Chains A and B, each alone.
Chain A
């Protein structure tokens, strides 16, 4: 079912799912619609995941080729966006596994986000985060996001940039709902710590 906002963008009755079905029947205009709609979002997601624009460009093309190849298997009752981002995510993870396996390492035991209680209570304090956010610079926020391990990076970008629900995030990352929820919380805690540490470093004389 399409949301009113989506309907306003796509027109009544034209969903990405139906565009994919039209594309499956060989209609190139349907593909153009899907590409125009998702080009920047898909590229952004890939940039966030692989942290390398050249690699993201390569994966961007591969994702669309895979969409065409797999379009016959797409179930129209599924959500196209979740399906698209699942394809992109799997390609990106495979690529990283082959070329930069160290970037897929799980967070080491004892990392800040692995100890949520102490981390939450022992952060730099509310005032530090307040000051960071008051003088918010998007490049600092983006840099902090980039420094997170992959599992947290993908969760945060899917939640806050793609506005996906936890259930959809769990499907894209192929993890249980509870894991997606844990990753969301730990990712946020970790990110806050990075921002506060950066602030403390800069504030030192």
Chain B
């Protein structure tokens, strides 16, 4: 292949501004002396300009709106997922604190021993410890049922939106 043919192969890329420095220099030097290739470069450039001027198909407004709604819901859900573990951790700690704190209060209100005496008891499974375990378990069962009901409702809401 002679230099003229080699340069002609580079012309589409030259018009697209996609040559490296060395190739561009080679093309420029050839074009300075070759009117045929200069004309050919003009043609490639015109073709590429016509590609640049193609009308842009517009995204339908309804599609954009649907996408906007979907992504907003997605972002909300992600934010919920991020917050929920912290919220749940806090609620668990809070409920345990309440459970532990209410037992001595209840005993004190019921005329039993004081909270100091309660904390000073041994850890054998006597009647008071069984009652404490039952009381706590009941609290957790109620809480669990409530959480399950909320989750079911949340899923149902998501399905309808």
Q: What residues of chain A have their CB less than 8 Å away from a CB belonging to chain B?
A: 23, 26, 28, 31-32, 35, 39-44, 47, 53, 57, 60-61, 64-65, 68, 116-117, 120-121, 126, 129-130, 133, 136, 138, 141-142, 145, 156, 159-161, 166, 181, 184-185, 188-189, 191-192, 195
Contact = CB atoms under 8 A, between A and B. Distances in A.
B23 to A, nearest CB: 10
Nearest to A165: B18
Given A60-B67, A129-B47, A160-B51, A117 B57 contact: no
Contacts of B46: 129, 133
B30 interface: no
Interface string B86-124: 000000000000000000000000000000000000000
A156 B12 CA distance: 12
A64 B63 CA distance: 12
B32 interface: no
A40 B67 CA distance: 13
B118 to A, nearest CB: 46
Contact of A68 (B13, B59, B78, B82): B78
A60 B8 contact: no
24 contacts: A26-B75, A28-B71, A31-B71, A31-B75, A35-B71, A40-B56, A40-B58, A42-B59, A64-B71, A65-B74, A117-B5, A120-B9, A121-B5, A130-B43, A138-B53, A161-B54, A161-B56, A166-B18, A181-B18, A184-B13, A185-B9, A185-B12, A185-B13, A192-B44
Contact of B50 (A65, A141, A185): A141
A144 to B, nearest CB: 9
A interface secondary structure, majority: helix
A61 B43 contact: no
B56 A35 contact: no
Given A35-B67, A133-B50, A188-B16, A57 B44 contact: no
B63 A126 contact: no
A126 B44 CA distance: 10
Nearest to A26: B79
Interface string B2-13: 000100110011
Contact of A28 (B18, B39, B55, B72): B72
